[in-house]
Structure 1
């Protein structure tokens, strides 16, 4: 089993995953709010250059060089996207989340990394497979990738509409009929869908859907770790947008070797 460890940075807690022990990385807690990725990078690896995004719940993935060239053409100081893939050593890539799934990826052969913000919308648009495709275009092999899915809202408490569940489910079961998608997913072992007492509602495990997408790519369970923490149910360590309705986030980042 992959193990998760609590670490201390500036006397504050953050999480790491044994699957990513090869890299400086962390899933930071709300105790670090409102530290910026630049400040958090100093906790992990002060020499690294820092990259972050203006997250928009899409499936666009950029590299640092693409970000640098885009920044010269826009008025904003952040580029809109939800995934970052490193190209060089010592690049720190960061994503923010408050119920959505932060995904950190490392390649044990190339040392390159990725950070992805995968909410239900990004998951429906297969943002994690998109990031993996970017890594593959840079020479990564699927077998060399290691993925950690950080603290996020758990399926047992994440109530969504049947329509949303079907839209996300269509990323695994390609079909036009909502009812067909829902029923097929409910028959999966360890289904990402759980019953909800309210009509027209269902509980959705977004992290499980991401794992199923990875399985569809041909990745094995040994390459994937899921944090045993729910942002909604762990108020002492994590912000939850659904719980508090506040625009606060925790950051997750990883640094290429």
Structure 2
């Protein structure tokens, strides 16, 4: 499988890279997208912190990066967590976000959108792609974790009644299956992003071991990279 791209993000050079590209770093992978673009990545810590390149120090701890200028590539690493690439079709600004269950519980995606809006973006101009991640059918968590992740949406009982619920039953007492990408989708809808502005990759990192690394499956710290290059419009 080559790296994955998304029609919603066709304005920008971007890619969700697979394990076939390991061990290449963003500094090498950017040559596939746009040679000579500047590379920015952070030390991911499962936070809700979003930064801009000009305020980044060495080994900056954060889980999201939003660009300000052209030819800036922003990158996140993931194994089972959700890599998110986003852009504004009018301004050309882009962002990359790493959203695990902790970051999702802390509202990192909403915070990234707030960064766009504070920089002059209109919410209807933002496009968002959720990349390969562990799917809800296999992601077992405690009811407490699920409740924490979904706290800003509703109770678990209410969410389980939805036709496309982020909470699935698990045979083990005190456990449920959690679809983190569905939670992110609902969080985005909550702040006014429409379904036409969001897409989700139909891949599961846990189940499709021929394409993706999965920490939960292999218990090894191996990752795939996702990145997007800004193209600021005059």
Q: Structure 1-normalised TM-score?
A: 0.89
**1:78 matched to 2:59:** yes
Equivalent in the alignment of 2:192: 218
Which of 107, 126, 129 is the equivalent residue of 2:110?
A: 129
* SS, match of residue 16 in structure 1: coil
1-structure distance, mates of 2:125, 2:59:
31
- Give the gaps of 5 or more residues in structure 2: none
1-structure distance, mates of 2:32, 2:59:
22
* SS, match of residue 3 in structure 2: strand
Equivalent in the alignment of 2:92: 111
- Give the gaps of 5 or more residues in structure 1: 1-5, 7-12, 72-76, 174-180
Equivalent in the alignment of 2:15: 26
Equivalent in the alignment of 2:230: 256
Aligned pairs for 1:194-205 (under 5 A) are 194-205=168-179
Equivalent in the alignment of 1:235: 209
Aligned residue pairs: how many? 231
Indicate if the aligned counterparts of 1:123 and 1:171 stay in contact, CA closer than 8 A.
Answer: no
* SS, match of residue 15 in structure 1: coil
Aligned structure 1 segments of 4 or more residues deviating by more than 2 angstroms: none
C-alpha distance after superposition, 1:160-188 (max 9, x if no partner): 00000000010212xxxxxxx11011122
Over the aligned positions, Cα root-mean-square deviation in angstroms equals 0.8
Equivalent in the alignment of 1:43: 32
* SS, match of residue 163 in structure 2: coil
* SS, match of residue 99 in structure 1: coil
Equivalent in the alignment of 1:60: 49
Which of 96, 101, 111 is the equivalent residue of 1:120?
A: 101
Equivalent in the alignment of 2:119: 138
1-structure distance, mates of 2:104, 2:45:
13
C-alpha distance after superposition, 1:99-151 (max 9, x if no partner): 00000001000000000000000000010110010111111111000000000
* SS, match of residue 187 in structure 1: coil
Equivalent in the alignment of 2:136: 155
2-structure distance, mates of 1:139, 1:58:
24
Indicate if the aligned counterparts of 1:161 and 1:200 stay in contact, CA closer than 8 A.
Answer: yes
Indicate if the aligned counterparts of 1:93 and 1:254 stay in contact, CA closer than 8 A.
Answer: yes
Equivalent in the alignment of 2:83: 102
Q: Structure 2-normalised TM-score?
A: 0.97
**1:246 matched to 2:193:** no
